[in-house]
C-alpha cells in the first residue's frame, strides 16, 4: 500500500530529521539504514533493495535490533 502526503515539506521535515542513521550495504547490494543503540547493537530503520529475498529476511525488518558483529567481514 502506498500513502501520499500532500503538504509543505517543512511540516514533515522534523519527523525525518529526528533519527541519525547509518547506511550498511548488504551482500545482495541493498542498503540497510540503521540507527545506533549501543556499541554492539543497531536498530533497522529501513531497507532499500531490488532483491525480494532481502524483504523476506526477518533480520532486516524495520524495528529489529541486530548485532554489529553481523556486518564485520572476516578475511
pLDDT of residue 40: 86
C-alpha cell at 70: 553481523
pLDDT of residue 8: 63
Which residues, in sequence order, are CB contacts of 32 under 8 Å at separation 6+? 23, 24, 25, 26, 44, 46, 47, 48, 60
For residues 69 and 49, give the distance between their C-alpha atoms in angstroms, rounded to a whole number: 21
What pTM was estimated for this model as a whole? Answer: 0.64
The 3-state DSSP class for residue 58 equals helix
pLDDT band at 7 (very low <50, low <70, confident <90, very high): low
Neighbours of 57 (CB within 10 A): 15
Amino acid at each position: 500500500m502506498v500513502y501520499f502526503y500532500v503538504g509543505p515539506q517543512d511540516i514533515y521535515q522534523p519527523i525525518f530529521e529526528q533519527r541519525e542513521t547509518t547506511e550498511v550495504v548488504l551482500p545482495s547490494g541493498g542498503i540497510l539504514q540503521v540507527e545506533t543503540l549501543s556499541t554492539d547493537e543497531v536498530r533497522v530503520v529501513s531497507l532499500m533493495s531490488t532483491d525480494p529475498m532481502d524483504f523476506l529476511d526477518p533480520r532486516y525488518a524495520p524495528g529489529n535490533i541486530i548485532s554489529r558483529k553481523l556486518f564485520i567481514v572476516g578475511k
